[in-house]
Chains A and B, each alone.
Chain A
Amino acid sequence: MTTILDPTDERVPVARRITPRPGAIRGNVALLDIAKPRGNVLLDRLETRLAQRLPGITVNRYAKPTFTKPAPEALRRDIREANDFVVEALAD
């Protein structure tokens, strides 16, 4: 983690640039369970629907060790390197 000091007058919130949206889903899709209860149920259903509607894609399942902490760097790297999309089941 690099920390820098804001060189501006701080009147605008720091915004992250969103990755460009491709418009169509192809390739590998990661489904990330953050380890909140029933997140896996939602993702199971989503995986079934994705397989029906987009038979050409490959779904890869991932899970965080705990929802209370950010995903470990290695997990984030694995997801980034092996997938074109990621869907995260966030909360209760």
Chain B
Amino acid sequence: MTAPLPAFSLADMAGTNFAFPTGASTLLCFVKEDCPTCNLAMPLLEALQASGDMPVLAAGQTADGNRTLIERHAPTFPLLDDSILKVSFAHDVETVPLVLLADGDGRELDRLVGFDRDEWRTFFEAHAPNAEVDWDALPAWRPGCGSMSQDPLFAERLRAESENSPLRARRIEIAPADDVHEFLFDQGFTDGLPVVPPTPERVLRMLAGTGRDSQEIVAKIAPNYAPATVEKIAVNAVLAGCEPEHLPVVIAAIEAICTRAFNIHGVNATTMGASPVLVVNGPIRERIGLNMRLGVLGQGTRANAAIGRAVRLAVRNLGGAKPGGTERSTLGNPMKFTMCFAEWEERSPWEPLHVERGYDASDSVVTVFAMSSGPALCVDQSSRSARQLAGSFALSLEAAHHVRAHNASDALLVVSPEHVDTLERDGFSKHDIREHIQRVTARPLAELVADEDAGGGLSPARFEAMTEQQRSRRMPKFASKDNIHIVVAGAEAGKFSGIFHGWAGGEIGSIPVSQRIEE
């Protein structure tokens, strides 16, 4: 005895569910609206339903098409919504119309494919003798149309779903005669450096790094607003050279940059050339081998390099932000390849970044900053007091954008261990550092006005229009001390700290965002 046809339950266009098998002999039909032969068959199916010989269940392959079929043919049998094509796929429908006669247990007794008048007539005479059909008015033969469940656009997804595979991304076959790496360059999948080919095996291994469902949409990445599923992020993480344990950081960073506050579209599009800088805090740092010590902002550590790169590649490949397209940097900057590092919390006398931002010390968190340049070095090997050193930070920070540009953006200060020691010796807190930076950089507006020797700064006309009281006001570098972000990282040796210059700060540009890393 043959195996029964696959059982299913589908709703009609009014939302009423119908189950198959039905417990009685049933005619199960697969149709699609844009198939002329299906439209030819619809009145015949209706005649069969009207005969009372056998109930008809028809599954239509698009929801809009079903609505049109209902308008056109007003069937009294249920027209079920198989627009996700799962039932068509399960029944291995190759051609529509496909008509399956099944017994009450769902076993196939007979079938019709396409339209052959003699076959249909014989079928009706055998199974629906009461149906009234004017056979002479019908054409002798009409071919059917390809089932949408066989369309290459959907077939891979349907196969993956039927096998319960976590992989749904389009598969691309690279011919043996092609060089895989050259192919990846040709397709524009890289940032200009070689990438790791994202084979299904590698992507599956990458997905093992997270407990999240592979089809969960983490964010929509501008400018395409493409859904960034966990799987698609994993594909880009493979490209970037990540290990599976890095994936949760990449996912969290993408969630963070796709917030309205961070504004990744503006960050990519700006001619200033901004890019996300990722700072990781919490227990995950050590576990995945993120560098926070010697050479922390440079090359040489896989986790740092690959995580930052994966975020950039996802923005490029999924978001569609490519130089010359919507990415319009005048100069660009090397952070657009990658920039991710961890804070050396244990070397810091202060609260780590994520705790300052409201998380528990035991949380693992990534914080994203939109930075337009850096790291610029603040070289100070001679300050012996915390006050002097914080003043050096201040003077160095004044260079951000332009010395006369005040009130414009955020800055990220990476304080090295030797500088930490100087600050700690005098009991300077992060608050003290920020206060001193604002104090030292506070300039009378007159010093910030453009002049003959340097054209950058406040416009003279605007300055002239100000009252004396306004002109005498002293303006610090930053709109608020909260725009100064401080972390600790770097080697034990060296009285140098790093400074990242922000992009447009606040609501008009980008606001730093923290995101808890789900492991």
Binding site for B on A (CB under 8 A): 1-11, 14-17, 73, 76-77, 80
Contact = CB atoms under 8 A, between A and B. Distances in A.
A6 B169 contact: yes
B199 interface: yes
A6 B232 CA distance: 8
B199 A9 contact: no
Interface of B: 167, 169-177, 180, 184, 186-187, 189, 197-200, 203, 224, 226-227, 231-232, 235-236, 239, 313-314, 317-318, 320
B461 to A, nearest CB: 47
Nearest to B175: A1
5 contacts: A6-B170, A6-B171, A6-B235, A8-B320, A15-B187
A73 B177 CA distance: 8
A1 B317 contact: no
B177 A9 contact: no
B318 A7 contact: yes
A32 to B, nearest CB: 15
Most buried by A among B187, B226, B227, B314: B187
B169 A9 contact: no
Does more than half of chain A's interface fall in helix, strand or loop, or is it mixed? loop
A1 B197 CA distance: 13
Nearest to A80: B177
Contact of B176 (A14, A16, A73): A73
A4 B204 CA distance: 12
B233 to A, nearest CB: 9
Contacts of B184: 4
Contacts of B314: 7
A78 to B, nearest CB: 12
A4 B224 contact: no
A15 B172 CA distance: 10
Given A3-B200, A7-B198, A14 B172 contact: yes
Contacts of A2: 173-174, 176, 180, 197, 199
Contacts of B203: 5
Contacts of A6: 169-172, 235
Contacts of A9: 224, 226-227, 232, 317-318, 320
